């Protein structure tokens, strides 16, 4: 992998990740852009104990542009985009309309391929491995920023999810706090460790699932299963079999196997609802240990956390979506219409 860092016309950082070591990246951003001005602010909710990012400048962000005006495609001739070069393998750049900025963190865009009509599932294993390297590198770099406590790599796929740019891409959020969902895991982890005299809850969950009926696929170094208490109609958790706290902890064997396992998982997601159905909308979310202090979670260290990816869709059946209505949105109590055992069986049936 070759990494080349440059600057866009408004000062934002852009990084090329290339498969070839001899690739030269010297294209200049020719757009007449002024410096990006953001109004991002993090406010603490004292009743719920969580935080909300207020980012009014995002109201003006790019919204469903035609394909020939996609800002994530390479620059060609006089059609100037966010990527100055005429081609690329993987690109990461600071979001022009970030939810978090400055002392409130940082937001980045990850373009998986220059092919506008592709998807992550259509990448080669070599391309997917390069994306994994980019996620790992950005996790490392962002963790050293003084305002960052947790790094979250994710992909939103599909208009039903809320995606406003059709080009295959994901995002990275670098939060200035430990996210509420991670905090819940850490509290459960601490309570279980104390109650069992030291047993790791993530290890116990993985062992239980591998012995059960909800395993979707399993490799030598990775395992994917539908969790016992899945919140979403089709939800799969992907774990490395050797517990590590973050992407940086993966060994070479796990990195080598990941593309094959993950691409197969994504391709199965696209076949859940049968032939002729539009691509399955999904969210793919990496859960990594925070880089800040874990003092409030007594007895737990970063090494107790287990890196894993959660992949889920809001489509519950053909042509129907799972909406977060009264119980989910009002009380955070999910109601799942699809039994996890059925979801796992379906995902096994659609194996390629």
DSSP 266: H
Q: Residues 94, 124, 307, 281: what is their CA dihedral angle, to the nearest 10 degrees?
A: 70
Q: Is the dihedral of CA 263, 269, 272, 273 positive or negative?
A: negative
Cα angle 225, 109, 152; round to 5 = 45
Residue 128 has pLDDT above 90, yes or no: yes
Q: Give exposure, 163-182, as e/b (b: 16+ Cβ within 10 Å).
A: eebbbbbbbbbbbbbbbeeb
Residue 40 has pLDDT above 90, yes or no: no
The first and second tokens of residue 52, run together, are 């909300």
How confident is the prediction for the chain on average, in pLDDT? Answer: 95
Look-up: residue for tokens 């962000």? 61
The first and second tokens of residue 172, run together, are 């990275």
- The rounded Cα 79 to chain-centroid distance in angstroms is 29
Residue 239 has pLDDT above 90, yes or no: yes
pLDDT at 293: 79
Q: Which residue among 169, 192, 221, 287 is the active-site one?
A: 169
169 part of the active site: yes
Residue-wise pLDDT for 58-117, tens only, equals 876 777 888 889 999 999 999 999 999 999 999 999 999 999 998 999 999 999 999 999
The first and second tokens of residue 87, run together, are 């081609």
Q: Is the pTM of this model over 0.85?
A: yes
The first and second tokens of residue 69, run together, are 């005006």
Contact by Cβ (8 Å): 341, 283: no
Q: Which residues 6+ apart lie within 8 Å of 234 measured at CB?
A: 226, 269, 272, 280, 312, 313, 315, 338, 343, 346, 347
> What span, in angstroms and rounded, lies between the C-alpha atoms of 169 and 216?
25
């Amino acid at each position: 992998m070759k990494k080349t860092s440059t600057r866009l016309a408004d000062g934002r950082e852009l990084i090329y990740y290339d498969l070839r070591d001899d690739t030269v990246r010297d294209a200049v951003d020719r757009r007449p852009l002024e410096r990006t001005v953001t109004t991002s602010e993090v406010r603490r909710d004292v009743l719920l104990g969580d935080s909300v990012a207020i980012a009014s400048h995002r109201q003006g962000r790019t919204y469903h542009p035609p394909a020939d005006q996609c800002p994530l495609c390479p620059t060609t001739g006089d059609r100037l985009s966010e990527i100055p070069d005429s081609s690329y393998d993987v690109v990461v750049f600071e979001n022009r309309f970030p939810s978090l900025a400055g002392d409130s963190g940082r937001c980045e865009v990850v373009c998986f391929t220059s092919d506008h009509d592709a998807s992550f599932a259509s990448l080669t294993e070599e391309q997917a491995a390069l994306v994994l390297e980019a996620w790992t590198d950005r996790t490392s770099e962002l963790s050293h920023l003084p305002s960052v406590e947790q790094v979250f790599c994710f992909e939103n796929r599909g208009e039903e999810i809320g995606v406003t740019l059709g080009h295959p891409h994901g995002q990275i959020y670098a939060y200035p706090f430990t996210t509420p969902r991670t905090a819940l895991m850490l509290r459960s982890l601490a309570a279980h460790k104390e109650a069992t005299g030291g047993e790791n809850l993530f290890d116990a969950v993985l062992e239980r699932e591998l012995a059960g009926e909800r395993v979707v696929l399993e490799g030598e170094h990775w395992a994917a299963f539908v969790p016992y208490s899945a919140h979403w109609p089709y939800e799969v958790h992907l774990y490395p079999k050797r517990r590590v706290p973050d992407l940086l902890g993966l060994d070479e064997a796990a990195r080598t196997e990941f593309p094959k396992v993950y691409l197969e998982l994504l391709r199965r997601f696209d076949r859940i609802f049968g032939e002729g159905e539009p691509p399955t909308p999904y969210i793919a979310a990496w859960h990594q240990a925070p880089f800040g202090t874990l003092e409030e979670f007594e007895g737990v260290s970063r090494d107790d956390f287990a890196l894993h990816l959660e992949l889920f869709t809001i489509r519950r059946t053909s042509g129907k979506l799972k909406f977060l209505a009264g119980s989910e949105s009002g009380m955070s109590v999910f109601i799942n219409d699809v039994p996890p055992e059925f979801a796992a069986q379906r995902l096994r049936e659609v194996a390629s």
